Structure 1
Amino acid sequence: MDRRVFNDLFAFTVVARHRSFTNAAAELGMSQSALSQTIRNLEEALGVRLLTRSTRSVAPTEAGARLLARLGPQFGEMQDALDELNEIRDTPRGTIRISAGEHPAVRVLQPRLAAFALEYPDVEVEIIVDGGMIDIVADRFDAGVRLGNQVARDMIAVRISADVTMAVVGAPAYFERYPMPTDPDALTVHRCVRSRLPTRGEIFTWPLEKDGETRRVRIEGPAVFNSLALRVASALDGIGLVFVPLDQVEAHLTAGRLLPVLADWWPTWEGYHIYYPSRRQHGLAFRLLVENLRHR
């Protein structure tokens, strides 16, 4: 195969994976215009359209999707083979890409990466915050971080946190206008700050638990925020009640800036796990990171 065609095919897989010329160009270290011309030249050489372009998005055509399905794993295996060469080095090095939700990224990953970065300066850790349930293999992540019950059974999973308690809280100013709920069903008439499920796009219903009973409450309210920080700030501002990890509001509860709501109904979920494919051979740097994150 001509070396230029090989490079062009790799460029196509990067664009198709990112679904963005801008992000793909940044990864490849080339200009967006040059990358766009590369893809046009490849399509002309092959005689088939590989990507559908619009002003807002890029997506593989049917032919492009088939080509990506065949080439993506092959390029991935070549990258894995190169990464394995790190095993013969005395110093761990390389890039580790992790997909994680906002809470574990802030609460678990970032605090532990400070010491890891100092000990292994040649290892670059890239964390992409995304709450959706993605295919880490197709999206070329080394690992993902999710709650234990969300990890697919064909993955290797290592616990990296204690269990997570979720809390419903509101500001004193809010309860100057509205009564304190005494039952989960009462939440349906309160103003609540909601969030949207990233994978299915539905509004998240609050799963409250007590004595083995679970109630999923469909709440209403004035705002929908997928950002954890925005939801906490909204509660402090008295906009409405929020459902957030307890550790994110404990200091506010202690200081009286927020008040607990239905505390006997707060659920506790299985802790976060870092997970990765069992069939992929990971390098020394990755194994050291997993061991550093392991919950003890």
Structure 2
Amino acid sequence: MARRNLNDLLYFITIAREGSFTRAAAHLGVTQSALSQAINGLEARLRIRLLTRTTRSVSPTAAGERLLNAIGHRFDEIESELDALTELRDKPSGTVRITCGDNVLQTILLLKLAPLLREYPDVKLEFDVNYGLRDIVADRFDAGVRLGSTIDKDMIAIPIGPPLRMAVVASPAYLADHPAPKQPHDLMAHNCINQRMATSGGLYVWDFERKGRKLNVRVDGQLIFNTAQPQVDAALAGLGVTLLPEDEVMAHIEAGRLVRVLEDWCPPFAGYHLYYPSRRQPSPAFALVVDALRYAKPGGAKSS
């Protein structure tokens, strides 16, 4: 295919991945009409429909899916190689895109990456705060951040924080009116603050373990949220008991605003990890981000 059609192919890949002419145009920095003309021309030359268009969405046809699978990763490889050329510059540059939750963004990522930004002014960071399990390859992120136990095995996972524990907490005012639970099943008699999971759409099942004994408890209560901060706020207001990673509530526990219960039923688990595809060719800017975030155990070297 002639060189002049490479832009048309890039436009097609972006539209197919974004599922929208509007989002693709914004991503590419061109107008929607230019995209539409390019795709119409590409389909005319190939004499086959590549995209199915409706008033609400755009999706690849069978032929479009075949073309996307055949060439999409090659454009990604070209982009990675172009990024890698910055290695030959005096200073690394480029944009690193990371999807993560807001708490880890505030408590780990920004704190660790601020010195890097000051030292390398040509490096840019873009954060996507999202609680769903984003497909970082399909959504073209350089990396994501999740708890270690939730990362797919085909990804490279780098620890960026210490092991964590869950914490069951309530306000002193709430516990003054309700006896503190002694066993996980006691929670069934409490007004528990639930979380709707972004991935499954179901309510989070509270899980516990002590001395090898595991328990799952389906709690009930008046409040359901889909993110952590409202759960913290509701617990502080005395509206019930909630279960969250301890880093979300530790400051309130230490200040006495929240009281921790069932601590012996909450063992440590793998903390936050930065993850990215094993086949990814890291750019110099991305390598700097990985090194800056890598967790160093107290008194020891950084984790590998």
TM-score relative to the length of structure 1: 0.89
- Residues 52-61 or 202-211, more deviating: 52-61
Classify 1:264/1:93 alpha carbon distance in 2 versus 1 (closer, same or farther; 3 Å): same
Equivalent position amino acid for 2:19 in 1: R
- Contact 2:131–2:227 (Cα < 8 Å) also in 1: no
Report the Cα offset of residue 128 of structure 1. Answer: 1.8
Report the Cα offset of residue 176 of structure 1. Answer: 4.7
Q: What CA deviation, in whole Å up to 9, does each residue of 1:237-264 have, x standing for no partner? A: 2332221121221222233222212222
Aligned pairs for 1:89-128 (under 5 A) are: 89-128=89-128
- Contact 2:19–2:58 (Cα < 8 Å) also in 1: yes
Classify 1:199/1:44 alpha carbon distance in 2 versus 1 (closer, same or farther; 3 Å): farther
- Contact 1:102–1:228 (Cα < 8 Å) also in 2: no
Equivalent position amino acid for 1:239 in 2: L
Aligned pairs for 1:56-135 (under 5 A) are: 56-135=56-135
Distance in 1 of aligned mates of 2:261 and 2:165: 14
Which SS does the other structure have where 1:169 is aligned?
strand
Q: Structure 1: where are the runs of 5+ without partners?
A: none
Report the Cα offset of residue 28 of structure 1. Answer: 0.6
**Number of aligned pairs?**
296
Equivalent position amino acid for 2:87 in 1: E
Report the Cα offset of residue 270 of structure 1. Answer: 0.8
Q: What CA deviation, in whole Å up to 9, does each residue of 1:19-39 have, x standing for no partner? A: 233332221112345434544
Report the Cα offset of residue 94 of structure 1. Answer: 0.6
Distance in 1 of aligned mates of 2:7 and 2:267: 51
- Contact 2:191–2:220 (Cα < 8 Å) also in 1: yes
Which SS does the other structure have where 2:222 is aligned?
strand
Aligned pairs for 1:131-150 (under 5 A) are: 131-150=131-150
Classify 1:250/1:25 alpha carbon distance in 2 versus 1 (closer, same or farther; 3 Å): same
Report the Cα offset of residue 295 of structure 1. Answer: 0.7
Hey, what does 2:50 align to over in structure 1?
A: 50
Hey, what does 2:199 align to over in structure 1?
A: 199
Hey, what does 1:158 align to over in structure 2?
A: 158
- Residues 104-113 or 171-180, more deviating: 171-180
Which SS does the other structure have where 2:240 is aligned?
coil
Aligned pairs for 1:1-296 (under 5 A) are: 1-296=1-296
Report the Cα offset of residue 208 of structure 1. Answer: 1.5
The share of aligned pairs that are identical, in percent, is 50
Hey, what does 2:300 align to over in structure 1?
A: none
Q: What CA deviation, in whole Å up to 9, does each residue of 1:213-252 have, x standing for no partner? A: 2212112223332222222112222332221121221222
